[in-house]
Chain A
Amino acid sequence: MQLQNTYEQSTHSSVIASAYGLTKSFVGKKALENIDLEIKSGQVLAVLGANGAGKTTLINILLGRLSADSGDVSVFGVKAGSLQAKRQAGAMLQVANLPETLKIKEHIQLFQSYYPNPMNYQQVITYAGLQHMQNRYSKKLSGGEKQRLLFALSICGNPKLLFLDEPSVGMDVEARQGLWQAIRDLRAAGTGIVLTTHYLEEADNLADDIVLLKQGKIIRRGSSDEIKASIGHTTIRFTSNEKSETFEQLPAVIAVQPSGRFIQLQTENVNQTLLALLYSYPHLQDLTVSSADLEEAFLQLIGSGE
């Protein structure tokens, strides 16, 4: 089902922004190295990685706020950061504070004026879940409410391309669910969305495509299921008289390790492996199947420790 969906969507969507061979260094330190990615309309691309992996740098380059050392960056077929690109895009960046003495509705009115075809005010308010605090000064907002206001400002221009840099930081569970719903609605309406996060759960819930960034390099890419399959293998454990090497031939097996009197198989596809395993070796004993803790595997993968 999942694959079917992804396939159908991708036939309707076109590439609206892309980066090929993107490299960027700051005073000798590589921030991004040879990044290739495409952002499609009506899809969410999640950029996952630990702090300092290069997520924000990547967004700033796609926004034209930083220039790449080398590589091709194109947004709507024009230069990133050009007026034409800016008018069709929206950005929610990490901001410590907003001017405190303006009301939510004033912030939104002002940002609407920047765009040729702004989103309807009520619609902005509804998407961001700010209906009940339109007259509140930004001084009086909690961290999560500020994030919601920043999200509102990012969609004021009816963006076809939306950048969300760690949007759910500081949000409680309810607010996060609201944000996720808004992101899904915008995607369904055709907006291409780039989402950076260090929560696997967030990417898993929202993303059509995920790239895993570590120290400026893409170390994994694919759909949520592919990423999960590649980082969280299922383990099949049993006892057998056969030598452990014999099991390496089984389909979808990635690794075989003897473990005490047990033999452990890591598999990408439990069904395939199990089917073949039981067909060829029906006399196995003590068979158990368990999946690795996904979040843990993910954290290990993106963690800064080599």
Chain B
Amino acid sequence: MKNLNQTVPSEQNMISTQNNNNPQSMNNSETMNIMRILNIYRLESKFEWLKSIRNPAFALPAILFPALFYTFFGVLMNQHNPQAATYLLCTYGTFGVIGPALFSFGAGLAVERGQGWLDIKDASPMPASAQIVSRLLVSMMFSVMVLASLGLVAFTLTDVSLSLAEVAALSTILVFGGLPFCLLGLTLGLLLKAESAPAVVNLVYLPMSFLSGLWIPITMLPNFLQSFAEFLPPYHLAQLGLKVVGLDTGGSVGKHLAILTLFSAVFFVLAIMAFNKKSER
């Protein structure tokens, strides 16, 4: 009650307060602003994390499916071939980091938008970037957990042997490699209707993963599909991962990076267009 008792500033008051603040304490207030925004990012990420990890429909498939698939294809169906187990570790790792990126942004955002929940946030002074930053960090956290669960299966049930440096390089590539897919998810999340979003995201995710050679090695796919994979971003991310263990098909790092960057840029622009279209109405 006491806090509310401040007199309401008239237009003139507000302007004069601003003027008083600016000359003296510019640096202070800017630091304050940055601290405040960082604090919002921190809390938004914390609660986005809690929200996601407490939701079994999101958390369980995201973390367990890649490990489960890897156990089938990399362990049970693979006759103790360490090379195949290593290859599939990289591709299922790619598969595993794309999932949370697409679903957190694509389905999660579309559903909250459909509920009108994002309208409330939009009316609040929350910076729109907090929505992005928090989901990005949460996707990355999920990527780490996916990779940890895959690593657990790989190192206990198969003869995969990787050096610490290789593990570090592979993990870094895959965790940051989720970024382009976050942008793809963001675009989908802004465009799709809440009811259809999860289904559409699956329709993008699963075929794209298969066609990029994430489930079975790309070299086992027919030739025309191998050529087609060149257009699919997961293929390039998987190739970057496979390069670490020397099992890639031989494309240059620069080419893969360039294509992933181009893909990110395209979806960044599309996301901004979708966002502007949404706010025009």
Contacts and interface: CB of A to CB of B under 8 A. Distances in A.
Task: Answer yes or no: do A and B interact.
Answer: yes
Interface of A: 13-14, 16, 41-42, 63, 65-66, 76-78, 83-84, 86-87, 89, 91, 93-102, 106, 109-111, 113-117, 119-120, 123, 150, 153, 157-158, 160, 163, 185-186, 189-192
B168 interface: no
Contacts, number: 109
B interface residue count range (under 10 / 10 to 19 / 20 to 34 / 35 or more)? 35 or more
Interface string B123-157: 11110000000000000000000000000000000
B125 A95 contact: no
B119 interface: yes
Contacts of B207: none
A150 B119 contact: no
B166 interface: no
A111 B6 contact: no
11 contacts: A83-B125, A96-B115, A99-B117, A102-B51, A110-B43, A114-B125, A116-B36, A157-B125, A160-B9, A190-B5, A190-B6
Given A101-B51, A186-B4, A190-B5, A95 B120 contact: yes
A113 B40 contact: yes
A153 B47 CA distance: 15
Nearest to A186: B4
Given A83-B125, A97-B115, A189 B1 contact: yes
Nearest to A41: B8
Contacts of A16: 8
Contact of B44 (A78, A98, A110, A150): A110
Give the 4 A-B CB pairs with smallest separation, nearest first: A77-B11, A189-B4, A101-B54, A41-B8
B15 interface: yes
Contacts of B14: 76-78, 84
Contacts of A123: 1, 3
A106 B279 CA distance: 28
A163 B119 CA distance: 13
Contacts of B10: 14, 77
Contact of B123 (A41, A93, A190): A93
Interface in B1-56: 1, 3-11, 14-15, 36, 39-40, 43-44, 47, 50-52, 54-55
Given A93-B116, A101-B55, A190 B124 contact: no
B5 A189 contact: yes
A113 B117 CA distance: 17
Contact of A153 (B4, B15, B43, B120): B120
A256 B123 CA distance: 50
B123 A120 contact: no
B230 interface: no
Contacts of B54: 101
A182 to B, nearest CB: 11
Given A77-B14, A95-B117, A98-B117, 11 more contacts: A65-B123, A78-B14, A86-B123, A95-B119, A101-B54, A102-B51, A114-B126, A120-B3, A123-B3, A157-B125, A190-B8
A87 B36 CA distance: 13
B1 A63 contact: no
A116 B126 CA distance: 11
Nearest to A67: B280
Given A99-B112, A101-B55, A115 B125 contact: yes
Nearest to B108: A99
A30 to B, nearest CB: 16
Nearest to A107: B47
Contacts of A120: 3
A125 to B, nearest CB: 14
A186 B3 CA distance: 11
